[in-house]
Amino acid sequence: MKFYWTMPAGLKIHYLQELQDYKRELLNGDLNLAWRKLERAHIIGQRWFKQHSYVHWLMLRFGIKIKSSKEVFGQIPRLMVGGVKSFVGKIPVGNTGGTNVPPLQPMEIPDDLKKILRSYT
> pLDDT, tens digit, for every residue of 8-64?
999 999 999 999 999 999 999 999 999 999 999 999 999 998 999 999 999 999 999
Helices (H) and strands (E) in the chain, counts: 5, 0
The pTM score is 0.92
What single-letter amino acid sits at 77?
A: P
Instruction: Say how many CA atoms lie within 13 Å of 38 toward its Cβ.
Output: 24
Give the start-to-end residue ranges of the domains of the chain: 9-118
Nearest CA to 52 out of 80, 77, 86 is that of: 86
* Confidence at residue 119, expressed as pLDDT on a 0 to 100 scale: 86
- Say what the pLDDT of residue 68 is: 97
Closest CA to 85 of 45, 47, 42, 43: 47
pLDDT tens sequence across 68-77: 999 999 999 9
- Report the distance separating Cα 84 and Cα 32, nearest Å: 28
